Amino acid sequence: MNYRKSIEMNRSGKDRFMKEHPNSPITDAKIKNKFMSLEYYQIDERWRFVLPLKKYDTIETVEMELSSGGAREFSKIGYLEFKQPDTDEIGKINIYQSKDNTDHYFVPFRDKTSGVETYGAGRYMDLEKEGDKFILDFNSAYNPFCAYSENYTCPLPPYENWLEISITAGEKNFPYH
């Protein structure tokens, strides 16, 4: 399956989940009845990168604040550097692992679109590996469940992952938020 079709299928699957699944974070019946789909930036393959991990000398434990208060520990394993497609500005983004799931690579981030076109608290990406490199695909950036309902608690992107560039890829702000 080609890249564009894969992203489109993931997006339509998420829309179905949000609209129909009993575990959807959209619990307000009025919103669910008028909800058709989430809003996304156009798929742009220039926002997909395959990059080597730049490891830190020591793996640091980071406490990420939670949207409902408190904090959760993650391991900061390294970072990726990428070039913004439209401006050639260099972005640096840290990668984290949950203490209880070291096979999951997690990237919470904010950027200049946060609070304007995208969810104000930030978006997430789950990374996959390709050999010894990571696939950093901003087209797959998504909102955490706390963007749709206050019933969810989500880690907030740490300040070190507040990017000074605009990431015009992935999911936009929830239209009924």
Contact 139, 169 (CB under 8 A): yes
Q: How many CB atoms lie within 10 A of CB 47?
A: 21
- Structural tokens at position 128: 């996959």
Mean pLDDT (10-residue bins), the chain, 177 residues: 93 94 88 88 97 94 93 95 91 92 91 96 95 96 93 94 96 84
Provide the pLDDT for residue 99. 80
Question: Which residues, other chains included, contact 21 with Cβ-Cβ below 8 Å and sequence gap of 6+?
Answer: none
Contact 39, 168 (CB under 8 A): no
- Structural tokens at position 79: 């970072």
Provide the pLDDT for residue 29. 80
Provide the pLDDT for residue 177. 58
Phi, psi (degrees; rounded to nearest 5) at 90: -90, 130
Which helix or strand (DSSP H or E) is residue 65 part of?
A: strand 54-65
Contact 168, 41 (CB under 8 A): yes
